[in-house]
Amino acid sequence: MMRIAHPMIMRSKCRMSIVSAMLIVTSAWNLSASLHAQDFESDLEDMEERAFQAAAAMAQPSMVRIETVGGIEVVDNILTPTGPTTGVVASADGYVLSSAFNFISKPASIVVTTYEGRKFPARLIANDHLRMLSLLKIEAQGLIPLTPADEVSFRPGRWAIALGWTYDAESPNLSVGIISAVRRVWGKAIQTDAKISPVNYGGPLVDLAGHALGILVPLSPEGNSATSGVEWYDSGIGFAIPIRDALDAANRMKAGADLHVGLMGISFSRDGGVAGKPEIDRVQYGSPAQQAGLIEHDLITAIEDVAVQRIADVRQQLGTKYADDEIAIAVRRGDQSLTVKVHLVAELLPYESGYLGILPLQATVNDAGVSIRYVFPESPASQAGLERRDRIVQFQDQPVKDFSQLQDLVSRTLPNDKITLTIVREKKNIKFELQLASIPNEFPPVDLPTRTSLASVIEKKTPKDENVAAVEPTGRLNETLPGREDSYWAYIPGDYDPRDSYGLVVWIHPQGDTHEAIFLERCKSICDTRRLILLGPKSERVEWSPEHVDFVKEAIDEITRRYNVDPYRKVILSYRGAGGFAQFLVNKEQSLFAGVAMWESPLLIPPPDHEPDHHWQWYLGCHAEYPMRTAIEKSTEKLREMKYPAALSIWSGNADEFPLQDNVEELARWIDALDRL
């Protein structure tokens, strides 16, 4: 019997066959597409590689190789370049631009090799200290200058190729990335994520056509030295000076004079950060701002007709200005609006504060004002008749609430200024007129009373509760920070009272010997009487390096978190070979310390200009027969020329001997007087 299939079953089978066929075709298409995609991806990679190589080849005739001979080995605790570096041709008649970092060693000679292999001796014509460029000159003609890129190439997201000519004289080395941002580092630079190293500082950043976007240099928003930003190398954060700005700078440098950062002589409140309103907090004496008529509390509204609303906007507009530039500053003063012309300068007069000649009692008291715990002999305060236990309640026309306010008011005066103080003595208000002096460089007198002997001078708001003990441990401590191999030791006075503030001495030991035992033995009793905490970060296996800055900072943060540390008596103390790292740390973290003490070490790194925000006091000491005594004495003179208060101590005894207890006592008195006014 013949069977006949149901029509629905037949249609179902047909659909299944069609679906199967479609799946087979789709799978075949996907396989083919995948193979084509792999081929396309491979072709794309080949095309990219060829494009990058072509861009480098286009730029190569405008690149030169630079070799230096001689010079300083270490600058700012960083090894200076010793191998070949890179430069670019700025003009056909032999001018070459490079990164200023390549010449910080002040080499004795410079040799430039062109892409054809010709070698020329080079002269360093000038440096641009704003954009960190150097201009060289070789006696050559017919060189091929860089071709500037079109404006469209400067957009974030576009290709950027960093070139250097150091490893192989036949061809440049390259690193590929994109433009991350423009007008970075206060308007000066292009930012790229192409890896930038000392090997390509001075080389060009180019687009895919091989046209120049800029010249590679190390930069940092927080510093302005030739080494600022070097620590970011190969991090994906690199900078280049836009090519047109670099060429403009080259034209200015051809006259043979260095270009300098344009200074105006104003500052803003620290509380404002960079996001606060651009209201002027200080106008430096003798500065362009003062000469133009700007005053405290002027609110800057525009610079060169560009509106500004934040402190960061002001920094952005001023960040590309040179000394000798003249700029228009619009300000609002009360209900008035006015515009002044400011002629920027390369150097300001060193900052110098007036001096009363007192030590304050910083302990919290029942009444507003600042009580005097000590009057320095022969000081303005002493000559006017001020006495210990007097309470300053008014400075000029300003009521005085606390020490911080009084310190700020005094810091705004100058030596020889005449001021009026109102004090309370035996419940009576008395006015005194004083002519301020300069802060002396001499050490405080030997009879300077210790802080522990002043406990009964004025009653505190919180009298000691015998049932309340310090929560944190005291005595000798050994600690390791989480995630750190390096450790630190500390000494906390046994009678530590969290209601009192303590000075902090950060001990930076020389390489190879922490001198921990002898240093603690010399300091222990003095720390107890002078209310000092010791902190000794340890670096026993390797030399101190810039990488240790974060470790030391974290150790300081840990101690100040756990103990009551007086910010006006935070000191870094280095010994011999550790002086370079200590100075590097202070320069990098300028708000971390109030005092810098160096035993048997001269200045190795120039300190920043003396300004209200860099109001450090210095102490230098050495044995009379120490070989570097002359350099230490000259360092002290240099600091005093910059108007930093700088004390110098020359010790008797064996030059190989560790500082004696008398030397430590002298240092402790100096620390105890760092909050003098």
CATH 2.30.42.10 segments of the chain: 266-343, 354-440
As to burial, measured by CB atoms within 10 angstroms (0-12 exposed, 13-18 middle, 19+ buried), residue 495 is: exposed
For domain 475-672, the CATH architecture is 3-Layer(aba) Sandwich (3.40)
For domain 266-343, the CATH architecture is Roll (2.30)
Regarding pTM above 0.75, the answer is yes
Which range (62-76, 133-147, 335-349) has the least confidence?
62-76
pLDDT digits (tens, 9 = 90+) for 173-207: 888 999 999 999 889 999 999 988 887 899 999 99
16 vs 535, residue with greater confidence? 535
For domain 59-253, the CATH architecture is Beta Barrel (2.40)
- Residue 371's DSSP bridge partners are 361, 391
Q: What is the mean pLDDT of residues 39-44?
A: 62
As to burial, measured by CB atoms within 10 angstroms (0-12 exposed, 13-18 middle, 19+ buried), residue 290 is: middle
DSSP state of 149: P
Q: What is the mean pLDDT of residues 280-303?
A: 94
pLDDT digits (tens, 9 = 90+) for 145-181: 999 999 888 899 999 999 998 766 677 888 899 999 9
The rounded distance, in Å, linking the Cα atoms of 53 and 173 is 10
Per-residue pLDDT, 456? 44
What beta strand segments (E) does 287-427 contain? 299-303, 306-307, 326-333, 336-343, 354-355, 358-361, 370-375, 391-395, 398-399, 418-425
Q: How far is CA 675 from the centre of its chain?
A: 24
Place of tokens 């190789």: 65
- Angle between helix 549-562 and 579-588 (nearest 10): 70
CB 308 within 8 A of CB 301: yes
Residues 6+ apart with CB under 8 A from 394: 400, 420, 421, 422
Amino acid at 15: R
**What sign has the CA pseudo-torsion 159, 160, 166, 172?**
positive
DSSP state of 193: -
Per-residue pLDDT, 367? 73
Q: What is the mean pLDDT of residues 468-497?
A: 84
Instruction: Give the number of other Cβ atoms within 10 Å of residue 672's Cβ.
Output: 22
Say if residue 670's pLDDT is above 50: yes
CA distances for 174 relative to 49, 53, 160, 440, angstroms: 11, 9, 10, 56
CATH of 354-440, one of 3.40.50.720, 1.25.40.10, 3.30.565.10, 2.30.42.10: 2.30.42.10
pLDDT digits (tens, 9 = 90+) for 570-608: 999 999 989 999 998 998 888 899 999 999 999 988 888
3-state secondary structure 199-245: CCCCCEEECCCCCEEEEEECCECCECCCCCCHHHCCCCCEEEEEHHH
Strand bridging mode 299-303 / 306-307: antiparallel
Measured distance between the N- and C-terminal CA atoms of the chain, rounded to whole angstroms: 123
**What sign has the CA pseudo-torsion 58, 64, 65, 71?**
negative
CB 538 within 8 A of CB 488: yes
Q: Which of these, 530, 532, 534, lies nearest to 517 by C-alpha position?
A: 534
Amino acid at 566: D
Per-residue pLDDT, 50? 86
Confidence grade of residue 540 (pLDDT, cut at 50, 70, 90): low
CATH 3.40.50.1820 segments of the chain: 475-672
Say if residue 12's pLDDT is above 50: no
Q: How far is CA 297 from the centre of its chain?
A: 27
DSSP state of 167: S
**What b/e string do you get for 371-385 counting C-beta neighbours within 10 Å, with b at 16 or more?**
bbbbbbeebbbbeee
Which range (236-245, 361-370, 480-489, 584-593) has the least confidence?
361-370
- What secondary structure does DSSP assign to 330-364, as a single string? EEEETTEEEEEEEE-BS--PPP--EE--EEEE-S-
CATH 2.40.10.120 segments of the chain: 59-253
Q: What is the mean pLDDT of residues 27-35?
A: 50
pLDDT digits (tens, 9 = 90+) for 377-394: 999 999 999 999 999 999
Q: What is the mean pLDDT of residues 266-290?
A: 86
Per-residue pLDDT, 538? 87
Instruction: Give the number of other Cβ atoms within 10 Å of residue 602's Cβ.
Output: 20
